[in-house]
Amino acid sequence: MAPGPAGFFSFREHDLDGAKAAVGQDFFTTSMDLVDRTASYDFRFDGVVLGALAVGVSQINSGLEIGTADLEDCYYVNYSASGSMHARHRRRAVEVTPGWGAVYHPVGPVAMTTSDEYDSYAVRIDRRAVNEALEEQLGHAVPPDPVLEPRVDLRSGPGRRWDRLVRLLCDEARTTPSVLSHPMIAAPLHDAVVSGFVHATEHRWRDALARPPQSWSRTPVRRAVEAIRSDPAQPFTPTGLARLAGAPTRTLHDGFRRHLDTTPMAYLRLVRLERAHAELRAAEPGGTTVAEVAHRWGFSHVSRFSQAYRRVYGRAPGATLRRR
């Protein structure tokens, strides 16, 4: 299911009340106090709310003491781009430095103390979305609010890949116009951040997620292919396609690899490229542009669209448009 329209936010505040209001609008209610009560204060916070996610990048110039009550309906991750933070949550202390993040559960107050010049990434994910992603990846039910380790390693492997996705969303949130306004692009990114989170964090099911699935039947692959070809303009995600195919995401991914030597999302991009090709061939002279066609079919970068088009069709998309 598509996450709905993206909601962008951008705040620049010079007082604590304004900063608390900015964080409370899209994340949660906090208390904030300067470590040095005489220090100046400058706060910048930019990001996007996308379905079950709120992702932002913040910059503060002076150390803060920050507190929250129970988050109630979400998990929250904060990690450093520069500077450091000491956090306490559920009777455990976490040191946040570049490459490491703190994971806060829905239940349990949070106390954070940042250094001066603390730049960080903040991710809020609805608790239900975390549960659903974990169950979907595993193929079986898990208890509500699964216990995740309070510290996440972002230096390599799944943690590093998740960090890159978060940074991509933050970069796009600061870009005008943003590709996150396009459902075909935003939906799979939303899906990737939520599912990537359960792979990046430590929990009792981590080893099970790392084991390769066993997939021999072609039926889920056939169902997914039929769904894609019948309406490739739908904002499909890996999770959504797996649901339509009647198989877990990892099983469907393995089936596409085994039977079609590709992935579900790569196959979707190829079908959309076919539709873009047909549109370029049928276009009236002066009636459209390559950029318009590329964007309509979910390709955010015209240069990458052109490269993919040339690999498949042996010429630039502009040449196809001009030949008409």
pLDDT score, position 2? 67
pLDDT score, position 218? 93
Residues of the chain with pLDDT under 50: none
pLDDT score, position 268? 98
70: left (phi over 0), alpha (psi -120 to 50) or beta: beta
Instruction: Report the interhelical angle of 183-200 vs 127-138 (nearest 10°).
Output: 80
pLDDT score, position 324? 56
- Amino acid identity, position 229: R
Question: What is the longest distance spanned by two Cα atoms in the chain?
Answer: 69
